[in-house]
A and B are shown apart, each in its own frame.
Chain A
Amino acid sequence: MRELLFHIIAFKNLPLGVVGGAAIWIILLPLANFVLLGLGKKYLKNIAGIFSTVLLFVATIIALNIAYHYFFIDGKVNGVYQTINVYQMHWLSFTETMHVEIGIQLDALSVMMLVVVTFISLMVHLFSLGYMKGEERYCNYFSYLGLFTFSMLGLVVATNLLQLYMCWELVGISSYLLIGFYFQKPSAVAAAKKAFIVTRFADLGLLIGILILSFNTNSFNFQTIIQTLTNTQSSSFISITASSFLGMSTLTWALVLIFIGGAGKSAMLPLHIWLPDAMEGPTPVSALIHAATMVVAGVFLVAKLFAVFAINVTALQLVAFVGIASALFAAIIACTQTDIKRVLAYSTMSQIGYMMFALGVSKYGGEEGLGYSAALFHLFTHAFFKSLLFLCAGAVIHLVHSNEMKDMGGLKKLMPITHIAFLIACMAIAGVPPFAGFFSKEEILSAAYQNNKTIYIIALITSAITAFYMFRLYFSIFWNKPHDSRLTAHHSEGTLTMKLPLIILMVCAATVGFIPFSEFLSSNNQPYHSAINIGFSILPVLLGLGGILLAGILYFKQNNKADKITNSFQVIYKAAYRKFYIDELYLFITKKIIFNCIGKPAAWFDRNIIDGCMNGIASVASFISTSIKNIQSGKVQHYTLYFFAGVAVLLMAVLYVWS
């Protein structure tokens, strides 16, 4: 223990095994935060925010240190990034051969995720210090943040599918707690329940998928599963591909079911309905959900099992098509929404769609696996600019006290830092060079171009729409009309702790694109070099600039051009504004079909048959007891009479038997 602490402080020139051992602190510190703040509310009430921020700061430092050691010093052996189990514990033993372990596995993917999760979470913590100040349940808020961070960190370092599944559910429960943080509002309660039920429903798929995979490979362990299933000679591989159900092989079923779990958490079509409603939570929480924890879990899951997905074309194609459909679908809806947080929510869904289809079009290994690195690169850059967007939106909402675009406008003078930060984040997401989103999006597009032209064209259109709706948002908030005269300079941008994360993330969103990502993360852990092709980038950049220009024409100054356009496309606009009636469809299916056809007969059966049996037995018993109740007269002499009568009867019986 003391040795570990020493190494954390001393940092340098240590073998990775030792530095990696410190990874356990990254997981334990947020957990400690949750437990201590949850139990010691009385004592830590006033310093809750500072306390958890400091704990997370330490965790972030350790994560950065591990990443430095892993990527630059000794993570690479013979040109391949190693997978290291730094910590492993025997947890559940079912049988001699079947047991579950719990531990920490570091590979390039987990190390990257550790950095992203701790860093974004730290920024969110910092921002929350100012944003949540004076809240009644301030202490609870920070302890929930701790639980959320802990579960996501536990998920990314999982050594096996069961540990991943547990953390996966923990992510679900902590998002439930945070989305329903303002539980006084009925809409927040409904949103929390919706998020929980929809993701739970998808998790059922994940659980079944996990069980199928581990039943066939006799292991929960990622490495064992991947090794067994990528070896086409092994008996497990032959049995899992030979057996089939409803025309698909067992392996395809397992992967599709696992992907359903991922799609539920990552808000892919058609399981996305919880994401926009999840905006009911505090805004920094939205930043955390959308950037680092929760929604990227699905992408992480597919990436972690990518070696297995890569050998199964059907499952991979499903991932690609669901991804591209979600990307386009969400982008169209985002153009029509008026609540700024909902626009951002749909943009998240769209960007996650990008990551998914990038994984879907990728192949395994080296240059062929460009889509894989591109997807994770986009995950990485997206974490920065999306959390920045949400924190800016939080700052704006903090000032205006409204989520609606019509209440905003002309805020650039009042909030100069937020303005710049938002502009940079918008350019990053729109793919304007040289901001972060440009590089990752280019890689995704070129991966799509190499493998599937249809997807490439849809992705291009989507990126133009993305640029349009992000700048629609930007112009509506900061330009459009003169700001509300009731807001004065006296309403500032908030405290230093609210501005600081904006500035840090702004710098990151502008620069992280220059990281040569494929030299760190690739599908087979062998680094390769991928260059940006200038000629290829011209078209997407032009389309993006066109989207920005269009948004500028329509929303830079207050005018009625936008209204005219919406009027001429009334039907489509209305459909998109109502989110293509997906929510209504779900309500129709659940309320009208499931409730009426299954729920009501079941309720009738329960009320009449099951309750009827019980009531029948009870009424027979009570009938008998009332009818014999009068024997108990309470008079001693009656009892003596019964007694002697009984004796007489017995006597006669005995005499009869004897004679």
Chain B
Amino acid sequence: MTVGLTHIIVLSTALFFIGMYGLFTRRNMITMLMSIELMLNSVNINFVAFNKYLYPDKMDGIFFSIFIIAIAAAEAAVAIAIIINLYRTHKSIDVDDVTDLKQ
């Protein structure tokens, strides 16, 4: 059995929803960040798969996934900086503790 496009899409969809589930249920910000990374990576898989199977003579999908990886790195840096600052002010990285703007 060869690996077809369908298999890969099923994989990436599963990965996306696992990430989404993690984002909703976890209270720890680091874990939430990891969940977001999972979702981004599922999108990367999609890009690469569509490129390979539908337009093998083009490179657009590959470029896009490289962009996303680079931006994800930057995003991770920013997010971790935010988390560190939050920890300094609130002594916690639990999202439920950070509801100051609700007032």
Taking Cβ atoms with an 8 Å cutoff, the residues of A that contact B are: 632-637, 640-641, 644
Bound complex: CA A634 to CA B101 (Å): 6
- Are A637 and B99 closer than 8 Å at their CB atoms? no
- Closest residue of chain B to A641 (Cβ to Cβ) is B24
Q: Mark B8-36, 1 if CB is under 8 A from A, else 0.
A: 00000000000010011001000010000
- Closest residue of chain B to A636 (Cβ to Cβ) is B95
- Are B99 and A633 closer than 8 Å at their CB atoms? yes
- Closest residue of chain B to A637 (Cβ to Cβ) is B24
- Are B102 and A634 closer than 8 Å at their CB atoms? yes
- Closest residue of chain A to B96 (Cβ to Cβ) is A635
Q: Which residues of B contact A636 (CB under 8 A)?
A: 32, 95, 98
Residue from the list B23, B24, B99 in contact with A634, Cβ < 8 A: B99
- Are A640 and B24 closer than 8 Å at their CB atoms? yes
Bound complex: CA A644 to CA B22 (Å): 14
- Are A644 and B20 closer than 8 Å at their CB atoms? yes
- Are A633 and B102 closer than 8 Å at their CB atoms? yes
Q: Which residues of B contact A634 (CB under 8 A)?
A: 99-102
- Closest residue of chain A to B101 (Cβ to Cβ) is A634
Extra pairs beyond A632-B102, A636-B32, A636-B98 (8, CB < 8 Å): A634-B99, A635-B95, A635-B96, A635-B99, A637-B23, A637-B24, A637-B27, A640-B24
Bound complex: CA A634 to CA B24 (Å): 14
Min CB distance A567 to B, Å, is: 81
Bound complex: CA A636 to CA B96 (Å): 8
Min CB distance A543 to B, Å, is: 89
Min CB distance A641 to B, Å, is: 6
- A-B CB contact pairs (8 Å), 9 listed: A633-B99, A634-B99, A634-B100, A635-B95, A636-B32, A636-B95, A637-B23, A637-B27, A640-B24
Bound complex: CA A644 to CA B36 (Å): 13
Bound complex: CA A644 to CA B17 (Å): 11
Q: Mark B28-58, 1 if CB is under 8 A from A, else 0.
A: 0000100000000000000000000000000
Bound complex: CA A635 to CA B102 (Å): 8
Bound complex: CA A632 to CA B103 (Å): 10
Q: Could you tell me the dominant secondary structure of chain B's interface residues?
A: helix
Min CB distance A630 to B, Å, is: 10
Bound complex: CA A635 to CA B24 (Å): 11
Bound complex: CA A641 to CA B21 (Å): 10
Q: Mark B86-102, 1 if CB is under 8 A from A, else 0.
A: 00000000011011111
- Closest residue of chain A to B95 (Cβ to Cβ) is A636
- Closest residue of chain B to A629 (Cβ to Cβ) is B102
Q: Which residues of A contact B96 (CB under 8 A)?
A: 635
Bound complex: CA A633 to CA B102 (Å): 6
Bound complex: CA A633 to CA B100 (Å): 10
- Are B99 and A640 closer than 8 Å at their CB atoms? no
Q: Which residues of A contact B98 (CB under 8 A)?
A: 636
- Closest residue of chain A to B24 (Cβ to Cβ) is A637
- Are B102 and A640 closer than 8 Å at their CB atoms? no
Bound complex: CA A640 to CA B20 (Å): 9
Q: Which residues of B contact A635 (CB under 8 A)?
A: 95-96, 99
- Are B20 and A637 closer than 8 Å at their CB atoms? no
- B51-103 contacts to A (CB < 8 Å): 95-96, 98-102
Bound complex: CA A635 to CA B20 (Å): 16
Bound complex: CA A356 to CA B82 (Å): 89
Bound complex: CA A598 to CA B42 (Å): 77
Bound complex: CA A635 to CA B96 (Å): 6
Q: Which residues of A contact B23 (CB under 8 A)?
A: 637, 640
Min CB distance B66 to A, Å, is: 25
Q: Which residues of B contact A637 (CB under 8 A)?
A: 23-24, 27, 95
Bound complex: CA A641 to CA B24 (Å): 7
Q: Which residues of A contact B20 (CB under 8 A)?
A: 644
Q: Which residues of B contact A644 (CB under 8 A)?
A: 20
By Cβ-Cβ distance, the 7 closest A-B pairs, closest first, are: A634-B102, A634-B99, A636-B95, A637-B24, A640-B23, A634-B101, A641-B24
Bound complex: CA A524 to CA B88 (Å): 97
Min CB distance A147 to B, Å, is: 56
Q: Which residues of A contact B32 (CB under 8 A)?
A: 636
Q: Which residues of A contact B102 (CB under 8 A)?
A: 632-634
Bound complex: CA A170 to CA B82 (Å): 68
- Closest residue of chain B to A640 (Cβ to Cβ) is B23
Bound complex: CA A190 to CA B65 (Å): 85
Min CB distance B82 to A, Å, is: 11
- Closest residue of chain A to B103 (Cβ to Cβ) is A634
Q: Which residues of A contact B99 (CB under 8 A)?
A: 633-635
Bound complex: CA A182 to CA B58 (Å): 96
Min CB distance B42 to A, Å, is: 14
Bound complex: CA A632 to CA B32 (Å): 20
Min CB distance A656 to B, Å, is: 21
Bound complex: CA A632 to CA B102 (Å): 7
Bound complex: CA A312 to CA B27 (Å): 96
Name which of A632, A634, A640, A641 has the most chain B CB atoms within 10 A of its CB: A634
Min CB distance A454 to B, Å, is: 85
Min CB distance B71 to A, Å, is: 19
Bound complex: CA A633 to CA B20 (Å): 20
Bound complex: CA A640 to CA B23 (Å): 8
Min CB distance B74 to A, Å, is: 20
Q: Which residues of B contact A632 (CB under 8 A)?
A: 102
Min CB distance B76 to A, Å, is: 17
Min CB distance A207 to B, Å, is: 57
Bound complex: CA A637 to CA B100 (Å): 15
Bound complex: CA A371 to CA B70 (Å): 106
Min CB distance A325 to B, Å, is: 74
Q: Which residues of B contact A633 (CB under 8 A)?
A: 99, 102
Bound complex: CA A412 to CA B100 (Å): 87
Min CB distance B30 to A, Å, is: 14
Min CB distance A226 to B, Å, is: 75
Min CB distance A625 to B, Å, is: 15
